[in-house]
Amino acid sequence: MKSYKIKSFLFLFIILFSPASNAFCEEVYYNDAKIKMLIPADWTMQYEENGQIAIGPNGDIVIIFMLMKSDATSDAIIELKDHINSFIADVKETTNIEPLTLNGLSGYAYDARGVLNKSRPIDIGAMILINTNNKIVMVLALAISETYKKYEESFLSIIDSISPVSVKVLKEK
pLDDT at 17: 44
Q: How do residues 133-143 score in pLDDT, each as one tens digit?
A: 899 999 999 99
pLDDT at 55: 96
**Lowest pLDDT segment from 22-26, 98-102, 142-146:** 22-26
Q: How do residues 1-23 score in pLDDT, each as one tens digit?
A: 444 444 444 443 443 444 444 45
How many C-beta atoms lie closer than 10 Å to residue 77's C-beta? 20
For residue 147, give Cα distances in angstroms to 60, 88, 111, 135, 172.
7, 18, 17, 33, 39
Rounded mean pLDDT of 115-138?
94
pLDDT at 25: 87
Rounded mean pLDDT of 24-49?
94
Total domains, the chain = 1
Domain annotation covers residue 17 = no
**Lowest pLDDT segment from 7-11, 20-24, 76-80, 161-165:** 7-11
Domain annotation covers residue 11 = no
Q: What percent of the chain has pLDDT over 70?
A: 83
Domain annotation covers residue 59 = yes
Q: What is the domain range of residue 53?
A: 23-172
Strand order in the sheet with 163-164: 25-30, 35-40, 163-164
CATH label of the domain that carries residue 47 = 3.40.1000.10
40: nearest Cα among 162, 173, 155: 155
141: nearest Cα among 99, 111, 98, 101: 111
Task: Report d(CA 22, CA 42) in Å as an integer.
Answer: 13
Domain annotation covers residue 29 = yes
Domain annotation covers residue 2 = no
* CB 122 within 8 Å of CB 21: no
Domain annotation covers residue 99 = yes
Rounded mean pLDDT of 22-45?
90
Domain annotation covers residue 13 = no
Domain annotation covers residue 43 = yes
Q: What percent of the chain has pLDDT over 90?
A: 72
